[in-house]
Amino acid sequence: MMTRLHTFLLKSRWPYALALTAALVYALVAWPAIHNGDVSEYTVTTVALANHATPAVRLSDLEEAQRRLPWMKEGFAEIDSDLRHQPGMVHLPFAKGRGDAVYAIHYFAYSALAVVPFKLLPLVGMDAFKCYLALNLFFVLLLGLTLRRVLDDNLKAAAALGLFLTCGLWAYLRWSSPEVVSAASLLMALLLYGSGAPLRAGVLVAIGAMQNPSIILAVGFLPLLRLALHWQAGRAWRAHLRAAIPDGRHFAGLLLGGLLALSAPLWNQIQFGTPSIIGQQFTRPDLFTAARLHSLFFDLSQGMIIGVPALLLLLLAWAARQGWRTLLVSAALTLAMALPALPVINWNSGAQGVMRYAVWGAMPLLGAMVWMLRERRRWLLALVPVLAVQWFVTGALARFRYVEFSPLAVRVMVHAPHWYNPDPELFGERVKHSDSYIDAREAYTFSYKGRAAKSLYHPDTPESVQMLCGAGMTPAADNDFHDINHGWRYVNGPVKCQPLPASARTGAAGG
């Protein structure tokens, strides 16, 4: 009897599905929604789609959103002014499309998906604007069921879902932003394509890419992932290459995903005359730097390394025993998706702990872990401490804001500042505790207990030098310097200054 019960609980899908559904329904009822991210865009667009089935924002849509969310008055102020008082003008993040209709510049897919819970929740007495929380939780449910399908074990699936939530996603579950949907869609697509459901995988890739366009690159990596998963030692290279070429169903899945994902740039082209109004207005090619790439993965305040440290160690340990192919393909996809994000203007964007690009960008690595987990019989002893570490990390990341340094970054800057040289925007905005822009005419100093630990200045800008050292002074040559991108320079430890040479003082006075 006990054996049958044990088998039923661990192997039958129904106990797992019912328990997961019950937990997520409880979360929907008990948790308050958090309206963060690009909330003014998503909320007004959801109301517009619910009212007239188009994403064009009308004054009546805005008035309804203001009535339902009165505390968001400041967030709605600019679009309110545009629609009510200055109908000839529209300020970003809204823009005029064809026929003078007004649209949010983020694609409307996330808002469209949220319309269903937006309509249904009031029928059971719940706030309609819990729709984003409901949508995020629904995609967690879909992911949980997908993990159960791939792993064929309730306990393994629950552990893998726990890793998903503790690899940065827990912080975004209640946000009205698409991070959870994009991450879950990407991970499900990787798992479903490799396990024989390519059409569903294609649809999910598209859903993720509609809000985070870099995810479309997964279409090119899915055949490589399938090849890595089905690699057979001793097989001829030609046979491997034939296996990598998609058959009819897999090709259809890739084509479907690519075409659906292209709906976003096509929409932008039709409405705004550019494939990406965000790319046009909020990116700069000169921001594509090695320092940014390093910070996305290794920054001690927002990088992937602080969000998934135990996962990375587990992956390396398991890959050393089970083979590197799946991990290498997954890591290459993660890197490929990171590159298009680098030129974005606001690098220190609103986030909770790990930056958003790094959160969904880590999903291929988590996917590699799931495939390795499927092949292991003795896994519990390894995964329990990993989950414990990731849960600790999840709590630690919630204790500081994105305009503050993490406790780990502070510790390093105090004891070994030369080891931590973040992108200048990250350092400057976290020193000032402000999400704005850094100014080459200013200097930025992080002090700990009244002592300068690390400073950032622009040596080619006299105002920056003067702010750091005072009038007629300049940093001495024996400071511990580190040059970073765009001409910025770090000084580690207290800044030692010396008088400017007489010729330099004269030039500065004349200038």
pLDDT tens per residue, range 229-260:
887 665 666 666 666 667 788 899 999 999 99
Question: Is the pTM value of this prediction over 0.85?
Answer: yes
pLDDT of 86 > 60? The answer is yes
> What average pLDDT does this structure show over 317-323?
89
Q: What is the pLDDT of residue 9?
A: 60
Domain holding 207, by residue range, is 133-397
Q: Using the 3D structure, point to which of 362, 397, 432 is the last residue of a domain.
A: 397
pLDDT at 55 over 60: yes
Q: What is the pLDDT of residues 179-221, one digit of tens each?
A: 999 999 999 999 999 998 999 999 999 999 999 999 999 999 9
Q: How confident is the model at residue 511 (pLDDT cuts 50, 70, 90)?
A: very low
Mean pLDDT for all residues in the chain = 90
Confidence of residue 509 (pLDDT cuts 50, 70, 90): very low
Number of domains in the chain: 2
Question: What single-letter amino acid sits at 111?
Answer: S
In a domain, 118, yes or no: no
Domain annotation covers residue 42:
no
pLDDT of 397 strictly over 50: yes
What is the mean predicted confidence (pLDDT) over 287-305? 93
pLDDT average, residue stretch 374-385: 89
Is a pLDDT exceeding 60 seen at residue 4?
Answer: no
Q: Give domain status of residue 104, yes or no.
A: no
Q: Are residues 285 and 418 in the same domain?
A: no
Residue 320 burial class via C-beta count within 10 angstroms: exposed 0-12, middle 13-18, buried 19 and up: exposed
Q: In angstroms, rounded to a whole number, what is the distance separating the alpha carbons of residues 42 and 132?
A: 9
**Tell me, what amino acid is at 45?**
T
Domain boundary among 397, 422, 440: 397
Based on the fold, state whether residues 384 and 487 are members of the same structural domain.
no
For residue range 92-135, list pLDDT tens digits in order.
Answer: 889 998 888 899 999 999 999 999 999 999 999 999 999 999 99
459 or 243: which leads in pLDDT:
459
Q: At a CB cut-off of 8 Å and minimum separation 6, what does 140 contact? A: 24, 161, 164, 165, 173, 180, 184
Same domain, residue pair 287 and 184:
yes
223 and 343 assigned to the same domain? yes
Same domain, 260 and 193: yes
Specify if 99 maps to a domain: no
Is residue 199 one of the residues assigned to a domain? yes
> Which pLDDT score, from 0 to 100, does residue 244 have?
64
Please indicate, yes or no, whether residues 299 and 324 belong to a single structural domain of this protein.
Answer: yes
For residues 417 and 305, state if they share a domain: no
For residue 276, with 0-12 CB atoms within 10 Å meaning exposed, 13-18 middle and 19 or more buried, which class applies? middle
What percent of the chain has pLDDT above 70? Answer: 93
Backbone angles phi, psi at 362, to 5 degrees: -80, -5
pLDDT of amino acid 3: 58
Domain-embedded: residue 112: no
Phi, psi of 190 (to 5 degrees): -65, -40
Please tell me whether residues 274 and 214 are part of one structural domain. Answer: yes
Q: What is the pLDDT of residue 294?
A: 93
Last residue of a domain, one of 355, 376, 397: 397
Say how many C-beta atoms besides its own lie within 10 A of residue 365's C-beta. 19
Say whether pLDDT at 464 is over 80. yes
At 129-155, the pLDDT tens digits run 999 999 999 999 999 999 999 999 999
330 and 462 housed in the same domain: no
Q: Kindly state the DSSP code that residue 178 receives in the 8-state scheme.
A: T
Q: What is the pLDDT of residue 334?
A: 97
3-state secondary structure of 139: helix
State yes or no: pLDDT of 87 exceeds 80: no
Place of tokens 């064929």: 152
Report yes or no on 125 lying in a domain: no
State the average pLDDT over residues 450-470. 95
The pLDDT value recorded for residue 7 is 59
For residue 45, give both structure tokens. Answer: 């667009």
> Could you tell me if residue 452 is inside a domain?
yes
Same domain assignment for residues 147 and 179 = yes
Statement to judge: residues 207 and 285 lie in one domain: yes
Residues 393 and 421 in one domain: no
